[in-house]
Amino acid sequence: MQLNLAPSGRKNAILAAAIGYDLAALIPFVRTWRQHVPSADLILFHRGLSARTRSALADLGVRLMRFPRSRLMRFPRSLFAPRNLQVARYQHYRAFLTRCSYERVLLSDVSDVLFQHDPFEIAQEHPILFAVERKMIADCPYNSAWIDRLIGGTTERLEINQKPIICSGTTLGTLSSIRGYLDRFTQEADRYSRALGVVGIDQGIHNLLIHLRGVSGAIDYDEHVFATLGYAPTNSIKIDVDRILVDGKAPAVVHQWDRHELLRDWVAATFTPVSRRGKEVIEREGRS
């Protein structure tokens, strides 16, 4: 894998990973990035994308980095199977950022994320900003299972129970803060090598770091930057013409929109699937 790209002139970067998606699944993320986040390169680590999808993404200005099939650094080879790259992507991001000079970096999920404003402009005062979900760890069977797999049966397990879920799908910070976070993540992951193949375990590690391991940062409780909607009540979400309102506000980054039928229908109607070239999307954008 090439670990560096030619300078683009943009001061910020979004790092994301896409494994096996078709183009239609990526279009809401990519189109809203182009529309609302002009300050940032979008660097997409990928595997299993068709040649047509890669070509369309390149036409749209996405900077593509292919996941290697060989082992990178310390993680076991099994993690480079497509379903296990949730954890290994952090190691790739860490290696990539050692060669970069961006000012700020957003680590983001892809298929259930879209942008409504530039998060880099809103979150400038925070060295690192984490997204929060609207539920405690103890009240979520998925997050509880991930934590159990990591530290079940320990006194720490009881301590973290009544902490809020911190979502690993969106994290924004300065280059040095994100590098530090990724260093801590990979160190923590090394402690739990037998659990790293569990789908979603990266979120368990993320919560351990923030709640128990002293990784400090701001948490976006007000949802000005990140709205993570998996546990948001349906009546808190509305569509106002061309934007999503959550409790009457339009957050910069909407995550987990696919958990709500209203938003699934709106996204399907707003972002027409594209079957061939990214230039078709550009032409649609020019007419909108």
CATH number, domain of 215, equals 3.90.550.10
Q: Is residue 286 part of a domain?
A: no
Q: Is residue 6 part of a domain?
A: no
Cβ neighbours for 120, distance < 8 A, ≥ 6 positions apart? 12, 37, 39, 40, 104, 106, 172
Q: Is residue 60 part of a domain?
A: yes
pLDDT per residue as tens digits for the range 149-167: 999 989 999 999 999 999 9
Q: Is residue 285 part of a domain?
A: no
CA–CA separation, 22 vs 53, rounded Å?
Answer: 7
Q: Is residue 90 part of a domain?
A: yes
Q: Is residue 276 part of a domain?
A: no
Amino acid at site 218: A
The number of folded domains in the chain is 1
Q: What is the pTM of this model?
A: 0.89
In the DSSP assignment, the letter for residue 192 is T
Q: Is residue 55 part of a domain?
A: yes
pLDDT per residue as tens digits for the range 232-261: 999 999 999 899 999 999 999 999 999 999
Residue range(s) defining the domain that contains residue 248: 12-271
pLDDT per residue as tens digits for the range 41-95: 999 999 899 999 999 999 999 999 998 754 444 445 544 444 457 888 998 999 9
Amino acid at site 239: I
Q: Is residue 282 part of a domain?
A: no
CA–CA separation, 141 vs 122, rounded Å?
Answer: 33
Using a 10 angstrom Cβ sphere, with 0-12 exposed, 13-18 middle and 19 or more buried, the burial of residue 28 is buried
